[in-house]
Amino acid sequence: MTGQAFFVLTALADGPRHGYGIVSEVTELSQGRVKLKIGSLYGVLDRLAASGLIEPDREEAHDGRLRRYYRLTRDGRQALAEEAEVRAATARVVRARLGLPGPEAAG
């Protein structure tokens, strides 16, 4: 799973969002490391929808334009949870190899 896909799924984890809302949430969640442009966002959304990980939720008119909202599917939640575990395990391995304490040692 790409970093962009991971953050898009994460942005949708707490509820449906429209395109601009997803872009803003991804920027915030990634602390500015992932900046989606609208063009690349819709490519990611199309791939996630084709994989059955997200689906359209609803459309709403806003300032004369239609906003499409997306939501996670059950498969999307499962894929996100699995990817989060993989990334956490990878981070633990890297920290150990570097001789760094784990996050639990910070308390």
Confidence of residue 101 (pLDDT cuts 50, 70, 90): confident
Q: Report domain extents, the chain.
A: 3-97
Confidence of residue 33 (pLDDT cuts 50, 70, 90): very high
What is the mean pLDDT of the segment spanning 63-67?
90
106 pLDDT more than 70: no
Look up the CATH architecture of domain 3-97.
Answer: Orthogonal Bundle (1.10)
How many percent of the chain have pLDDT more than 70?
A: 96
Ramachandran angles phi, psi of 36, nearest 5°: -85, 135
Q: Token pair for residue 58? A: 């609803």
What is the mean pLDDT of the segment spanning 55-82?
95
105 pLDDT more than 70: no
